Amino acid sequence: MTYKEKQKEWIKSNKIKIGSEVIIGRYDGFAEGWIGNWVNPHMDLTSGKVGKVVGIKGSIGISVETEISTRYWNYPYFVLDPRVVQEEIEEPIKRENWFLLD
């Protein structure tokens, strides 16, 4: 199975689409047929950050933009974690027995 076929299968099984949020992992040099380039230090700085899918580029990877980068980068699918990113809680947490100390 080619990289492009594996990526297509991963996209389908994780229901990834333009606008999906992913968590970017660290690249360990295992290319698995990915023909893109890991650009240091820019892409390393995005590891562990949440990004938004802005494009799908076949063997080049998945285009993801983050708040810390001035542009998108093409990542291999296998460094992206498709977990659902938790929304901020709108309701305040109710806390009992809290005291203010002066």
What pLDDT digit, counting tens, does each position of 30-64 carry?
778 888 888 888 899 999 999 999 999 988 999 99
- 84 secondary structure, DSSP code: P
Pairwise pLDDT comparison (85 vs 72), residue with the higher score = 72
Query: For residue 70, what pLDDT band results from cuts at 50, 70 and 90?
Result: confident
CATH code for 3-81? Answer: 2.30.30
Q: Please list, residue by residue across 30-61, b when 16 or more beta carbons sit within 10 angstroms of its beta carbon and e when fewer do.
A: eeeebebebeeeebeebeeeebbbeebeeebb
